[in-house]
Chains A and B, each alone.
Chain A
Amino acid sequence: MKTGFLSLILHAHLPYVRHPEYESFFEENWLFEAITECYIPLIGVLDRLQKDDIAYRFTLSLSPPLITMLRDDLLQARYLKYLHKLIELAEKETLRTQNEAELQKLAQFYLGFFQNTLNVYQNQYGGDIISAFKKHYVLGTLELITCAATHGFLPLLSISETAVRNQINIGVNTFKSHLGFSPKGIWLPECAYYPGVEHFLAEAGLKYFFVDSHGIMDATQTPLNGVYAPLDCGNGVMAFGRDPESSRQVWSSQEGYPGDYDYREYYKDIGFDLDFDYIAPYILDGEIRINTGIKYYRVTGKDLPKELYSPENALAKAKQHAQDFISKRQSQIESLNRSIDRPPLIIAPYDAELFGHWWFEGPHWLEHVLRLASEPGNTVQTLSCSDYLSQQTTHQVATPSASTWGDQGYFSYWINETNDWIYPFLHQAETDMEKLAMDLQRVTLTPLQIRTLNQAARSLLLAQASDWPFIMKSGTTTEYANKRITDHLARFNYLQDSIRKNRINERYLTALEMMDNIFPDIDFKDYNPNKYHD
């Protein structure tokens, strides 16, 4: 008998990395790696569950930049080129390793993996990953939800209501135009909530969002059911709180599943290990070593020589971990049922890109969790938050506290000495955009002027992505993050200057439209704050 609920949510997002001004561009590999290792394997999971007629519910949030990139013809063509190159390398590897049986078996494993990826991507879904997800939505097993337009960090944009409104509304509209229906829920970028954002969510027709555990625990009223039931923010929009235990089992750096010694070691890749001349055609510009995705070793253990990866052992471990996860949820539900006034709901959200990319076996773990939960013998039932809301109609009213799921739980990862310089510029650009929209509200504009203003709004949105301050703090590709935010702000300044001086260079404008071709339906008039006050 099912006595409690489990809602698994994957949040899929990548910043907008599309560079038609270059023949190839390293950061586009972020998308290609995620397609190969995360999104196609995830589709494989959903397809197998469908084939086996498994009853489950699972939620995936798709950010607008990711949706747009997955639907972009340039990136689709470049992805195919990338994949063919990987297949070429895997084929070469099967030859190079012909005298080392165990290594060759792994090379053949990768060759099969990449060939299957190509088959699923090209033959099964015609390059349209979004349609694959939609298929499962239509089947009733997958709930799809949206995210803010460019994954803007809403609390630090909130000095302007218009900025927050546009991030949310454009996120919802982009989702609708690609998926063909309105999302019921939203993943707030970085799980960053501040009291008041629920009013803009309600305006956009959204019913629910997620906060980290302490957002619920520190709500304006003590939560009667802890994080195991949502809070009504007072306007009918529901806040669901992340379960710390489910989170720890996957994320913990010390005891999380992905660190198991049998799992594939992410940091040992042939792009760094093999002879330079041999690997040169498959690395960056033939000069800089990068990850290729072919990794032959397992985590093994701390300070030990790495041992060869065994896919069979790793998959067996993923099944074992899925069983452990479900068992712990059952115990949790049993215990919670004694203390709360309704069937408990366990919210378990994760970054989609953890599954497959960092944790290679993650998709298999997820598949087995969903299979095990579907068995009639256990007490856990998977469901989505909208399913839950249709079953439970009364909720405690309270406002969560400001919080994120980032390091230390608040905003410091996105505003600190490494990235604080961006905020005066972002706020100034937002103010300037709003002023442009207000100044021109009663002016008849030419199509060229409208294009210029719409492109300025795109530049502003792309500058607002939370990814840039995140990268600056993490210290990974900081030069790229600095350049991206500076370029987008410069493009905004240029477009604003063109409008103010009424000197529009159509060739320049077209080049900017070709480079930043996101949000084709954007309307700069939405930046006029008066529009929302009249």
Chain B
Amino acid sequence: MKFSLSNFDPQITISTAEILEISQEINRDFSPLLPVKTNNTIYNKNISPQEMLDISETISLNFAPKMSNNQTQLMLLPVDPNHIYAYWNPNKDNSIPMEKNDRPPQELTLRIYSTSPPDAEQNKTSEWQDVIVDNTKFQQSIPLPVIYQHNSYCASLGKREENNNLIPFARSNITAFTFGKTALLDKQDGSTLLLSHNDFVNNHQENVPLLTKSSSGQRFN
């Protein structure tokens, strides 16, 4: 049967735009919804979105993260073959002596020891290097200009005396990561170079001034 033979009333004229509007309205209001699945153990307490939002904001206001004095005093984290990262909270137990102006010293020394884990366990260290850190920041990326024998570091934070002795205020964990020394660089001629990490960083910064990233840190056009 043709549609025109049905109860369709051709006397009613409807514009294309009106048909579209009607179609969209029906889609909006009468689309079939998927059956609700219960995939967790939420306890239905009829909490409205507004109440959830209020609770979330109240909690964020009153319980925002702040550093406690109970945490480890000095922590080292690996970054790359040439850097480690340190954060500290050296005022636990008021272990840092105040200066004459009743303020903690602005500059502290981070003494980084290169050590293999067994050495560290026995508190034996082979090499060390001092880095001056800004005590007002409580965290800092630390370049490792000396290529140590091991990929394992620990550190002490303290005040260096004139004779190079360090009065330590905090000791760190041991960070023992084996980084490589190579990186891959895509060349314009299509080949791929294996470079030392230092050369890679220099080359990378010169040749690729702007890279965009995907959600996982890869680069793409």
Contact = CB atoms under 8 A, between A and B. Distances in A.
A469 B162 CA distance: 40
22 contacts: A21-B50, A95-B16, A95-B20, A214-B194, A217-B194, A245-B192, A254-B221, A350-B218, A353-B214, A358-B214, A358-B220, A399-B178, A403-B179, A406-B216, A408-B200, A423-B139, A427-B71, A428-B65, A470-B215, A470-B217, A491-B63, A493-B65
Given A95-B16, A431-B71, A474 B85 contact: no
A403 B139 CA distance: 23
Contacts of B34: 73, 76-77, 80, 122, 126-127
Interface stretch (B37-45, B90-98, B101-109): B37-45
A520 B43 CA distance: 12
Contacts of B148: none
Nearest to A496: B63
A410 B42 contact: no
Interface string A168-182: 000000000000000
A402 interface: yes
**What 6 A-B pairs come out closest when comparing CB atoms?**
A218-B180, A406-B217, A410-B80, A259-B221, A520-B40, A21-B52
Interface of B: 16-17, 20, 23-24, 27-28, 31-34, 36-43, 45, 47, 49-53, 55-56, 59-60, 62-65, 67-68, 71-72, 75, 77-81, 83, 85, 87, 89, 138-139, 141, 173, 177-184, 186, 188, 190, 192, 194, 197, 200-201, 204, 208, 211-221
B72 to A, nearest CB: 8
A190 interface: yes
A467 B16 contact: no
Contacts of B50: 21
A413 B190 CA distance: 25
A254 B79 contact: no
A74 to B, nearest CB: 9
Nearest to B182: A214
B26 to A, nearest CB: 10
A351 B62 contact: no
Contacts of A486: 60, 64-65
A198 B58 CA distance: 41
Given A411-B79, A493-B63, A194 B177 contact: yes
B42 A190 contact: no
A197 B71 CA distance: 24
Nearest to B205: A408
A404 B38 CA distance: 37
B16 A253 contact: no
A104 interface: no
B21 to A, nearest CB: 10
Contacts, number: 268
Contact of B192 (A248, A416, A423): A248
A20 B52 contact: yes
A300 B179 CA distance: 41
A525 to B, nearest CB: 17
A424 B59 contact: no
Interface in A383-430: 399, 401-417, 420-421, 423-425, 427-429
Interface in A43-93: 71-73, 76-77, 80, 84, 87-88, 91-92
Interface in A193-209: 194-195
A95 B217 contact: no
Contacts of B85: 415, 420, 423
A251 interface: yes
Interface residues of A, number: 103
A408 B183 contact: yes
A255 interface: yes
A191 B75 contact: no
Nearest to A519: B40
A415 B43 contact: no
A217 B180 contact: yes
A172 to B, nearest CB: 18
B79 A253 contact: no
Contact of B28 (A84, A155, A429): A84
A88 B32 contact: no
Interface string A357-373: 01100000000000000
Interface in A415-458: 415-417, 420-421, 423-425, 427-429, 431
Contacts of A497: 63
Contacts of B139: 420-421, 423-424
Contacts of B180: 214-215, 217-218, 401-403
A508 interface: yes
Nearest to B49: A21
A354 to B, nearest CB: 6
A517 B49 contact: no
Given A84-B28, A514-B47, A408 B177 contact: no
A511 B51 contact: yes
A511 B55 contact: yes
Given A23-B49, A467-B215, 18 more contacts: A77-B33, A95-B17, A159-B75, A214-B194, A217-B194, A245-B192, A251-B220, A253-B221, A354-B220, A358-B220, A402-B179, A415-B79, A431-B72, A470-B216, A490-B65, A506-B43, A513-B42, A517-B40
